[in-house]
Amino acid sequence: MTDPWSQSVVDARQCAGVPSLEKSMTVRRHPPVAITADPSLIAELEGCEQQIGYRFEYLTSIPGARRHARRRGMIIVGLDLAPRVRKPLRCSGTVVVAATELPEGRAAYVHRVGASHLIVLPRARQWLIGRLGMIGEPR
């Protein structure tokens, strides 16, 4: 078995030994929320915005994002703020994102956040754009 952390997109359940079952994502009307203060991650996400054709809502606090979580098709949590999450965020597609390679020990935050995937940008940009396309364009 290959090391799941060497991939650019990691299913968090795979790392916990749980079989991966893809969930279909439903169409949402609200834009994705990106929770990060990392300028390099924001730059990567803006590149995704240009390709997908709509803007994300950017927040720098976990409480602010938690208020909007259930109405969002996706929440993107930067690995810079993931340690601040105390209880899982409830959303149909929470994602933890790292702007560069994963530092040691940070993968533990994936489960605390309640993330379905951990991705590394820019290598996983096309995967993220595909997922954003699945949730539909917000209005």
Is residue 121 included in any domain, yes or no?
yes
Q: Where in the sequence is the domain holding 69, given as residue range(s)?
A: 7-15+29-135
Q: In total, how many domains does the chain have? A: 1
Residues 6 or more apart whose CB falls under 8 angstroms from that of 107 comprise 5, 10, 15, 118
Q: What does pLDDT average to over the chain?
A: 79
Prediction pTM value = 0.76
49 lies in some domain: yes
Residue among 120, 117, 124 at smallest CA distance from 99: 120
Which structure tokens are listed for 68?
A: 């909007």
pLDDT at 26 over 60: no
> Above 60 in pLDDT, residue 89?
yes
Residue 20 included in any domain: no
In a domain, 11, yes or no: yes
- pLDDT score of 116 more than 90: no
**pLDDT, mean of residues 14-21:** 49
Domain for residue 24, yes or no? no
Per-residue confidence at 9, pLDDT binned at 50, 70, 90? low
- Average pLDDT of the segment spanning 51-77: 88
* Dihedral over alpha carbons 85, 25, 128, 74 (to 10 degrees): -30
Tokens of 67: 């208020």
- Mean pLDDT of the 122-135 span: 90
Would residue 23 count as lying in a domain?
no
Q: Is 22 a domain residue?
A: no
Above 50 in pLDDT, residue 52? Answer: yes
pLDDT of residue 21: 46
Q: What is the CATH number of the domain that holds 98?
A: 3.40.50.2300
109 occurs within a structural domain: yes
